[in-house]
Amino acid sequence: MRSEILKIAALHLKPLLLSLSLILLIRGHNEPGGGFVGGLMAGTAYVLYGMAFGAEKTRQLCMVKPFLLIGLGLLFALVSGLLALLLTGGAIMEGIWFSIPVYGDFAFKLGSPLLFDSGVYLLVAGMLMLVMLSIMEEG
Amino acid sequence: MKLAYLLIILYALAFAAPFVNLYLRKYSGWILAALPILVFGYLLSQVPAVSAGTVYAEEYAWIPQLNVNLRFQLDGLSLLFAMLITGIGGLILIYAGYYMRSYEKTGRFFSYLIFFMASMLGLVLSTNLIGLFVFWELTSVSSFLLIGFKHEKPEARDAALQALLITGLGGLALLAGFVLMSIPYGTFELTVMIANPDLLTGHRLFIPALILILAGAFTKSAIFPFHFWLPGAMQAPSPVSAFLHSATMVKAGVFLLARLNPLMDGSEIWFYSLSVFGATTMFVGAWLSIAQTDIKKILAYTTVSAMGTLVLLIGTNTTYSMNAFLIFLLVHAFYKATLFMMAGNIEKKTGTREIEQLGNLRAYMPIATGIMLLALLSMSGLPPMLGFIGKELIYEAKVNAPGAAPFILAMGFLANTFMVFVSIRLALDIFWGKEVRFTQKPFEPDISLLTGPAILVLISLFLGLFPDIIEKSVVTSALRAISPDTEPVDLKIWHGFNLVLLLSAITILTGVMLYLYKTKTIAFARMVNLRYFRTRFSKRFFDFIGLFLHLTKKKTAFVQHGYHRFYLMTIFIATSVLVWYMIAKVPFTHIQLESLRTVPLFYIAVAALIIMSAIATLTAQSRLIAFISIGLVSFGISVIFITFSGVDLAITMIMVETLMVILGAMVVYHLPKYLNYSGKSSRVRDAMIALAFGSFMTVLVIKTGAAPPQDKVSDFFSLNSYPLAHGKNIVNVILVDFRALDTMGEITVLAIAAIGIYALLKVKLKPGE
Span of B48-62, B269-283, B714-728 with lowest mean pLDDT = B714-728
Q: Which residues of chain A register pLDDT less than 50?
A: none
Name the closest residue on chain A to residue B649, using Cα atoms. Answer: A32
Q: Residue B769: pLDDT above 60?
A: no
Kindly state whether A134 is in contact with chain B, defined as any CB-CB distance less than 8 angstroms.
yes
Give the Cα separation of B699 and B45 in Å (integer): 77
Average pLDDT over residues B429-438: 78
Q: Check A77 against B737: CB less than 8 A apart.
A: no
Kindly state whether B718 is in contact with chain A, defined as any CB-CB distance less than 8 angstroms.
no
User: What is the pLDDT at residue B38?
Assistant: 93
Average pLDDT over residues B322-351: 89
Of A77, A114, A134, the CB nearest to B758: A134
Q: Check A135 against B652: CB less than 8 A apart.
A: no
Span of B109-123, B254-268, B670-684 with lowest mean pLDDT = B670-684
Average pLDDT over residues B401-418: 83
Give the Cα separation of B649 and B639 in Å (integer): 10
Q: How confident is the model at residue B228 (pLDDT cuts 50, 70, 90)?
A: confident
Give the Cα separation of B3 and B125 in Å (integer): 8
How many helices and strands in chain B, by DSSP H and E?
33, 2
Span of B110-119, B282-291, B292-301, B657-666 with lowest mean pLDDT = B657-666
**If you average pLDDT over every residue of chain B, what do you get?**
85
Q: CA B409, B412, B417: angle at the middle one, nearest 5?
A: 125
Q: CA A89, A92, A93: angle at the middle one, nearest 5?
A: 120
Q: What is the pLDDT of residues B344-367, one digit of tens each?
A: 988 888 888 888 888 888 888 888
User: What is the pLDDT at residue B593?
Assistant: 66
3-state class (DSSP) for residue B224: coil
Contacts of residue B267, defined as CB under 8 A and 6 or more positions apart, other chains included, come to B201, B206, B210
Q: What is the pLDDT of residues B713-754, one digit of tens each?
A: 677 777 777 776 677 777 777 777 777 788 888 989 999 999
Name the closest residue on chain B to residue A68, using Cα atoms. Answer: B751
User: What is the pLDDT at residue B666?
Assistant: 81
Average pLDDT over residues B666-686: 78
Of A74, A114, A137, the CB nearest to B747: A74
Contacts of residue B651, defined as CB under 8 A and 6 or more positions apart, other chains included, come to A32, A33, A37
Burial class of residue B655 (count of CB atoms within 10 Å of its CB; 0-12, 13-18, 19+): buried
Q: CA B600, B601, B607: angle at the middle one, nearest 5?
A: 100
Burial class of residue B681 (count of CB atoms within 10 Å of its CB; 0-12, 13-18, 19+): exposed
Choose from A1, A65, A92, A127 for mutation: most chain B CBs within 10 A.
Answer: A127
Chain B residues closer than 8 Å to A113 by CB = 725, 727, 733, 736-737, 740
User: What is the pLDDT at residue A100?
Assistant: 64
Q: Check B750 against A124: CB less than 8 A apart.
A: yes
Kindly state whether A22 is in contact with chain B, defined as any CB-CB distance less than 8 angstroms.
no
Backbone angles phi, psi at A25, to 5 degrees: -60, -45
Kindly state whether B737 is in contact with chain A, defined as any CB-CB distance less than 8 angstroms.
yes
Of B729, B735, B757, the CB nearest to A134: B757
> Ranked by mean pLDDT, which of B22-26, B91-95, B195-199, B471-475 comes out on top?
B91-95
Comparing CA positions, the residue from A55, A63, A42, A54 lying closest to residue A6 is: A54
CA–CA distance from B28 to each of B87, B100, B112, B150, B240 (Å)? 17, 11, 15, 20, 17
> Ranked by mean pLDDT, which of B68-72, B75-79, B173-177, B428-432 comes out on top?
B173-177
User: What is the pLDDT at residue B385?
Assistant: 83
User: What is the pLDDT at residue B136?
Assistant: 94
User: What is the pLDDT at residue B269?
Assistant: 87
Distance of CA B454 to the CA centre of its chain: 32
In the 8-state DSSP scheme, what is residue B385?
S
User: What is the pLDDT at residue B445?
Assistant: 81
The Cβ of residue B490 has, within 10 Å, a number of other Cβ atoms equal to: 10
Span of B234-248, B467-481, B592-606 with lowest mean pLDDT = B592-606
User: What is the pLDDT at residue B711?
Assistant: 64
> Distance from B565 to chain A by nearest Cα, in Å?
22
Q: Which residue has the higher pLDDT, B9 or B407?
A: B9
Q: Residue B594: pLDDT above 70?
A: no
Q: Check B747 against A47: CB less than 8 A apart.
A: no
Write the single-letter amino acid at A101.
Answer: P
User: What is the pLDDT at residue B767?
Assistant: 61
Burial class of residue B204 (count of CB atoms within 10 Å of its CB; 0-12, 13-18, 19+): exposed
Distance of CA B118 to the CA centre of its chain: 14
Q: How confident is the model at residue B203 (pLDDT cuts 50, 70, 90)?
A: confident
Q: What is the pLDDT of residues B688-700, one digit of tens each?
A: 999 999 998 888 8
- What number is the ipTM of this complex? 0.88
Q: How confident is the model at residue B266 (pLDDT cuts 50, 70, 90)?
A: confident
Chain B residues closer than 8 Å to A137 by CB = 761-762
Of B658, B727, B748, the CB nearest to A29: B727
Whether the CA torsion B325, B328, B334, B340 is positive or negative: it is negative
Q: Which residue has the higher pLDDT, B392 or A30?
A: B392
Q: Check B747 against A136: CB less than 8 A apart.
A: no
Give the Cα separation of B3 and B123 in Å (integer): 12
Of B663, B724, B751, the CB nearest to A123: B751
- Please report, rounded to a whole number, the percentage of residues in chain B having pLDDT higher than 90: 26
The answer to whether A101 and A51 have CB atoms below 8 angstroms apart is no
